[in-house]
């Protein structure tokens, strides 16, 4: 079940785009997130996080991209399932091996 989002994706995309455009126009970074956040009704720290995430996803900043993080979660889930299946198979094979070692009375 996906996490509940307080802000719609369209607002996030628009706010990030406005920050990038304002940075390009002004040439500075200081106060852009605060000003645009105030205009859109979004806390500046929230907007700053969105911008940082967009920069990482766009390759402008170092870090783990969203796609890579999602894939990593999927792979970790698959590894957990495979380890569980291996444990079940290991215990089943030990059970049947013990059955073969017991003397049979006919």
Asked if residue 73 belongs to a domain, the reply is: yes
The mean pLDDT value for 82-95 works out to 95
Residue 48's CATH number: 1.10.10.10
What is the Cα–Cα distance from 106 to 99, expressed in whole angstroms?
15
DSSP, residue by residue, 40-56: HT--HHHHHHHHHHHHH
What is the Cα–Cα distance from 80 to 78, expressed in whole angstroms?
5
Percent of the chain with pLDDT over 90: 71
Asked if residue 24 belongs to a domain, the reply is: yes
Q: What band does 106 get if pLDDT is binned at 50, 70 and 90? A: low
CB atoms within 10 A of CB 33: 26
Q: How many structural domains are present in the chain?
A: 1
Asked if residue 3 belongs to a domain, the reply is: no
pLDDT digits (tens, 9 = 90+) for 12-56: 999 999 999 998 887 667 789 999 999 999 999 999 999 999 999
Q: What angle do CA 69, 70, 72 make, to 5 degrees?
A: 65
What is the Cα–Cα distance from 32 to 17, expressed in whole angstroms?
12
Q: Which residues contact 7 (CB under 8 A, 6 or more apart)?
A: 42, 46
Find the domain containing 71 and state its range: 9-101
What is the Cα–Cα distance from 25 to 62, expressed in whole angstroms?
24
Asked if residue 1 belongs to a domain, the reply is: no
């Amino acid at each position: 079940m996906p996490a509940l989002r307080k802000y719609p994706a369209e607002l996030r995309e628009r706010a990030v785009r406005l920050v990038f455009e304002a940075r390009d126009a002004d040439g500075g970074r200081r106060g852009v997130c605060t000003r645009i956040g105030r205009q859109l009704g979004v806390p500046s720290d929230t907007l700053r996080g969105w911008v940082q995430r967009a920069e990482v996803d766009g390759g402008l900043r170092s870090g783990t991209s969203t796609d890579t993080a999602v894939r990593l979660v999927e792979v970790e889930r698959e590894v957990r399932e495979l380890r569980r299946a291996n444990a079940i198979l290991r215990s089943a094979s030990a059970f049947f091996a013990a059955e073969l070692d017991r003397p049979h009375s006919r």
